[in-house]
Each structure stands twice: as C-alpha cells, then as structure tokens.
C-alpha cells in the first residue's frame, strides 16, 4: 500500500498550516512577507535614527563642553584629545567595515544556498518521475517541505517582531522522506540508480537548509552594535570639543551622524536577508510551488533541460 501524505497533515506553527490550506500557498506566503518586510524596515530605520540622534547630540555636547571649559583649557588637552579621537575613529572604521562586509557575506551566502535548494528540488522531482505514481507520497512530502521552508524563512508574522529560526521540524522532514523513499520498489537498474540519486539529493537539500539556519542564528549581536554606537558617540564628542561653534560645524556633524546611521542600517538590513528592504526574494520557491508535483504517468516524450539545469520529460 502506498503511503499518502496531504498538506492537511502538516505539523508545527499555525503559519505553516495557513499556507498549506490556502488555495494558492505561494501567493499567500509572498503577501505575508510583503506585509512583514515593511514592518521590519521601520524597525531598522528607527534603530538607525536613534544612532543618528545620539551621535549628533554627542557632537553638540562636545561643542557645549568646549564653551564651558574655555579655549585655554581645551588647548592644553588638544594633543591628548587628538590622539584619543584618532584611536576611536580607527576602531570605529575597522569594526563598521568588518560588520558591513560580514552582513553582505551572509546575504550572499543565503542567496547561494537558496539557489542550491531550488536546484535540488528540481533534480529530486525529475528523479521521482522515474517511479511514476508510486512516488506520489515522496512528491507530496517534498512539496510540504518547500512550504515549511518558506514559512521558516519568510515568516507570516507581520508584527515586525524578531523571529526565532531553529532546526525544529527539519529532523521530521528527514524521517518522513526517508520512509517514503524506503517504500519505493525499484523494478530495474535505472530505478535503483534513481533511488540512490534521490537519497543523495535529499541529503543535500537538508544539509543546505541546516547551513542556512546556522548562518541566520549567527547574526550580528545587538551588544556589538551598542558598543559601536558608544564608540561613535565618543568620537563625535571629541570632534565637538575640537571644532569651532558655527553653522558649518553643525551641518558637518549632522552629515557624519547620517553616515554612521546609514552604515548601521545596512548592517541590520543585510543581517536579516528575509525581511526589510534588502531581502532575498521568495519568487523562486513560489515558482516551484506553482509547478505540478505529481509524478508523470508516461515517459514517452524525450527529456529536455529545464530552467534549473535538470533534465525532465515534457508534459
């Protein structure tokens, strides 16, 4: 007896169940993601604005301290002030540069892993077609796991709250698919080879998911960003002590504050590739969900290369 799996058997969060039961799951998940990314962007903008205000206020405080202490007092300490300001400026430049580079690397690695996922799914579907209707259970489980992956990464929670992306449910995916593959009975050498390929491809699929989740769990910690903001405030305070009090000074301090805030905004945006303005699109998974998952009944047509590099029969 073939094992049948339907989308109504999904376990886990209510977001996954909602996506699974929708008439057009891919469209619904994308709609939720669009609602959410605006909320997350507002959070990132708000945090960057706090940095801008804090650094500008520090510069103004430095100017006020200069006026309070008097020119002679500031002149006596100018050598030490210049040294400390230079030290903090170097630290800030190095750390902010590393954070931007690390965040951009995370963003790119998530895009690359997602492309690997898409190729694995396309190859898995092609291999399962060799078993005809017998692979219906495995195809249904594969579709379920695509939906679960979308729900993990592109959360349907539009409240802008931080998400907790974990390995929860991944081990269940492994057991379900391996059980479905074990139920396949190869009738010839071609199917035996295809079954081995299916296990290998699914292993790559799960391994890539694990890599994506581990990367997202290692994002830039808030404490480090707070330390960077403290350095920026100290730097602008020093600039304020050394600068003269005039309109141009205020304009340049405001420009510097915006520059620091924009760097923090980029770090926050690219550290969470699935929310905000700079985000990885879920369109590739949506296209996979739009394509039929039922194994082909006949292999009479000649195979052709699909868009993901895998070869599959024409329907």
Query: Count of residues for the chain?
Result: 315
Backbone phi and psi for residue 158, each to the nearest 5 degrees, phi listed first: -90, 15
3-state secondary structure of 88: helix
Tokens read off for 2? 């073939």
Backbone phi and psi for residue 159, each to the nearest 5 degrees, phi listed first: -85, -5
Which pLDDT score is estimated for 39?
56
Could you give the residue ranges of the DSSP H alpha helices within the chain? 14-21, 25-69, 71-76, 78-128, 136-153, 170-182, 189-217, 222-242, 247-271, 283-290
Which pLDDT score is estimated for 206?
85
Which pLDDT score is estimated for 137?
87
Each residue's pLDDT, cut to its tens digit, for the chain (315 residues) gives: 434 433 333 333 333 333 333 334 433 434 433 444 455 567 888 889 999 999 999 999 999 988 888 888 888 888 998 999 999 999 999 999 999 999 998 899 888 899 899 899 889 888 888 888 888 888 888 888 888 888 778 765 444 444 555 555 566 677 888 888 888 888 888 888 988 888 899 888 888 888 888 888 777 888 889 999 999 999 999 999 888 888 899 999 999 999 999 999 999 888 888 877 777 877 777 777 776 544 443 343 334 444 444 444 433
Phi-psi region of 243 (alpha: psi -120 to 50; beta: other; left: phi over 0): beta
Which pLDDT score is estimated for 8?
38
> How does DSSP assign 48-80, residue by residue?
HHHHHHHHHHHHHHHHHHHHHH-HHHHHHTHHH
Q: Are 13 and 7 in contact (CB under 8 A)?
A: no
Which pLDDT score is estimated for 222?
84
Which pLDDT score is estimated for 167?
56
């Amino acid at each position: 007896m073939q094992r049948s799996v339907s989308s109504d058997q999904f376990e886990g969060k209510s977001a996954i169940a909602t996506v699974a039961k929708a008439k057009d799951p891919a469209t619904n998940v994308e709609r939720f993601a669009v609602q959410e990314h605006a909320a997350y962007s507002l959070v990132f903008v708000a945090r960057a604005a706090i940095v801008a205000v804090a650094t500008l206020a520090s510069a103004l405080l430095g100017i006020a301290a200069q006026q309070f202490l008097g020119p002679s007092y500031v002149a006596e300490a100018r050598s030490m002030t210049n040294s400390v300001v230079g030290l903090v400026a170097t630290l800030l430049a190095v750390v902010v540069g590393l954070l931007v580079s690390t965040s951009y690397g995370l963003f790119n690695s998530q895009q690359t892993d997602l492309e690997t996922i898409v190729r694995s799914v396309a190859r898995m579907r092609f291999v399962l077609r060799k078993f005809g209707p017998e692979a219906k259970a495995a195809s249904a489980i594969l579709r379920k796991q695509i939906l679960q992956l979308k729900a993990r990464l592109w959360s349907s929670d539009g409240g802008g709250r931080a998400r907790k992306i974990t390995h929860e449910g991944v081990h269940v995916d492994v057991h379900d698919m391996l059980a479905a593959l074990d139920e396949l009975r190869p009738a010839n050498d071609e199917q035996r080879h295809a079954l081995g390929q299916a296990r290998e491809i699914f292993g790559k699929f799960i391994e890539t998911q694990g890599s994506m989740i581990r990367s997202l769990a290692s994002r830039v910690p808030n404490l480090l960003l707070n330390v960077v903001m403290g350095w920026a405030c100290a730097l602008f305070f020093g600039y304020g002590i050394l600068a003269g009090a005039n309109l141009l000074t205020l304009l340049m301090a405001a420009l510097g504050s915006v520059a620091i805030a924009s760097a923090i905004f980029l770090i926050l945006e690219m550290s969470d590739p699935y929310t905000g303005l700079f985000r990885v699109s879920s369109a590739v998974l949506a296209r996979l969900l739009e394509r039929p998952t039922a194994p082909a009944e006949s292999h009479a047509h000649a195979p052709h290369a699909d868009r993901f590099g895998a070869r599959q029969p024409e329907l």
